[in-house]
């Protein structure tokens, strides 16, 4: 949907055979996967800095008893998060230094540089 709106704004159709990357670059928009990665890492930083007795911290470390179903394991949030940490090149211990964490995790959206809240 996002790319469709960008194409409509640019006046480009699929028949013009212009790549989505080219259109995103023209408007200065990053892929939505990068924005989602940034949001996950931002939330993970909040959870890591939270007290140990908060619901979010307890839920993060929750172990569910019982056997997993047969077949391929479903992708878990922590597995996705570890991949995001590897892509961003950041270690969870850096979350306690907020400035460093922001510097490493806020790469995707150029609007975060413009709309500073701190």
Residues 6+ apart with CB under 8 A from 18: 7, 12
Query: How many whole angstroms separate alpha carbon 98 and alpha carbon 7?
Result: 37
Q: What is the pTM of this model?
A: 0.76
Residue 56 has pLDDT above 60, yes or no: yes
Q: Where are the domains of the chain?
A: 1-30, 31-63+74-110
Exposed/middle/buried for residue 48 (C-beta within 10 Å: 0-12, 13-18, 19+): middle
Residues 6+ apart with CB under 8 A from 4: none
pLDDT score, position 110: 56
Query: How many whole angstroms separate alpha carbon 91 and alpha carbon 112?
Result: 21
Share of the chain above pLDDT 70, in %: 91
Residue 31 has pLDDT above 90, yes or no: no
């Amino acid at each position: 949907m996002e790319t469709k709106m960008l194409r409509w704004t640019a006046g480009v159709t699929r028949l013009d055979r212009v790549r989505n990357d080219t259109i995103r670059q023209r408007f200065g928009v990053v892929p939505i996967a990068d924005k989602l990665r940034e949001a996950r890492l931002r939330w993970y930083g909040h959870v890591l800095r939270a007290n140990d007795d908060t619901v979010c911290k307890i839920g993060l470390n929750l172990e569910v008893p019982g056997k997993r179903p047969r077949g391929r394991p479903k992708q878990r949030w922590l597995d996705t998060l570890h991949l995001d940490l590897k892509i961003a090149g950041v270690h969870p211990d850096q979350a306690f230094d907020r400035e460093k964490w922001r510097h490493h995790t806020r790469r995707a959206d150029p609007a975060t540089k413009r709309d500073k809240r701190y």
